[in-house]
A and B are shown apart, each in its own frame.
Chain A
Amino acid sequence: MSAHGEAAHAVHKDYEGAKIGMWLFLFTEVLLFGGLFVLYAAYRSVYAAEFHHAAGSLNVFLGVFNTVILLTSSLTMVLSVSAMQKGDVRSSINALFWTFVCALGFLVNKYFEWSYKIHHGIYPGSEEMAAHHDKGEVLFYGLYYMMTGLHGFHVIVGMICMGFIYYHIRKGWITPDDYVKLENVGLYWHLVDLIWIFLLPLFYLAA
C-alpha cells in the first residue's frame, strides 16, 4: 500500500515541468542580482566621476579574458547537452569536463585579481579605502566585491552541480532519453555566463 504511494510519487516525470521550474528559479536569480544592478545604476548616476575613476584601476585584460573563458564554457556546456541529445554520451562527458575546466580557470583568474586588489588594501572596510578613496569609489569597490563575489559563488555552485551531473551520467541515471537534469544545469550555467556578460561593461569597461 505504502509502496504504491511512494511509486506513484516517484514515477511522476514531467520534462516540461522540470524546465519551467528551472526557468522560474533562474528568474529568482535574475531578480536577486537585479537588486544589486539597480543599486549600481543608482550609485553610478550619483557618483559618475568616481565610478569612472575607480573602474580605471580594474584590469581590463583580465576581465575580458574571463569573459572569453565563460563564453567558451557556455559553448561547451551547450555542446554537452546537444551531444547527449544526439546519443553521444562520451562527447557529452568530454564537453562537460571542459566546461568544468573553464569554470576553474575563471575562478583562478578571479582569485589573482582579488588578491592583487586586497594586497593593495582595496577592499571594503580597509584603512586604505577610508584614507585615500572618495565615497563614490568606496561604493564602486563595495559593489564590485559584492557582485563579483556573488557571481563567483554561483560559479562554485555551478561546478558542484557539474560534478553531480557527471556522477549521474556515469551511474547511467542521465541518458539520451532522460537528460533533463543535464539540461537544467546547462540553463543554470548559461545564466552565470549571462550575468557576467553584464558585469563586464559595468565594472571593467566603465573607465
Chain B
Amino acid sequence: MSHDNSHAHHEPIPYHVFVIVWIALLVLTGITVGASIFFPGVIGITVAGIVTPLKAFLVMYWFMHLKYEGPAMKIMVASAMIILLILLAGLLGDILFR
C-alpha cells in the first residue's frame, strides 16, 4: 500500500479572506439580534431561522475549508445534516399533529 504522502493541498488562502468572513459573521449576528429586539415575534424568529443556518454555512464553507474539499466530503456533510433534519421532522410530525 503506498499512500500519497505529499499534501494534496489547495493554494494557501490569503488571511484577509478569513477576516472578511469573520466580519460577515459579526454583521449577521447583529442582524439577528437586532431583528429579535426590534421585531420580536414572527419576524425576529424568521430572520433568526434564515440567518443562523447562513452563519453555520459560512463557518463550514470557509473556516472549516469545506470549499476546498472534494465532492465526497461535501456529500457526507450534507447527508449528516439531512439525517438530523429527518429526525427533527419525524419528531415534530408527532408533536404537532397530536
Contact = CB atoms under 8 A, between A and B. Distances in A.
Q: Do A and B bind each other?
A: yes
Nearest to B76: A23
B60 interface: yes
A38 B88 CA distance: 5
A16 B9 CA distance: 10
A6 interface: no
Contacts of B25: 71, 74
Given A15-B8, A82-B12, A187-B64, A193 B59 contact: yes
A49 interface: no
Nearest to A16: B8
B22 A72 contact: yes
B77 to A, nearest CB: 7
A41 B96 CA distance: 11
Judged by DSSP, the binding face of B is helix
B43 interface: no
Interface in A78-137: 78-79, 82, 85-86
A75 B84 contact: no
A177 B63 contact: no
A194 interface: yes
B12 A74 contact: no
Nearest to B41: A52
Given A15-B7, A31-B80, A86-B12, A23 B63 contact: no
Interface string A187-198: 100110110011
Nearest to B83: A31
Nearest to B5: A13
A64 B19 contact: no
Given A82-B13, A187-B64, A46 B95 contact: yes
A87 to B, nearest CB: 9
Nearest to A13: B5
Contacts of B64: 186-187, 190-191
Contact of A201 (B26, B36, B96): B36
Interface string B52-68: 10011001101111000
A74 B8 contact: no
Contacts of A27: 76-77, 80
Contacts of B13: 82
Interface of A: 12-16, 19-20, 23-24, 27, 30-31, 34, 37-38, 41-42, 45-46, 60, 64, 67-68, 71-72, 74-75, 77-79, 82, 85-86, 177, 183, 186-187, 190-191, 193-194, 197-198, 200-201, 205, 207
Which 10 pairs show the lowest CB-CB distances between chains A and B? A205-B36, A201-B48, A27-B80, A75-B22, A34-B84, A78-B63, A42-B95, A190-B63, A190-B64, A38-B91
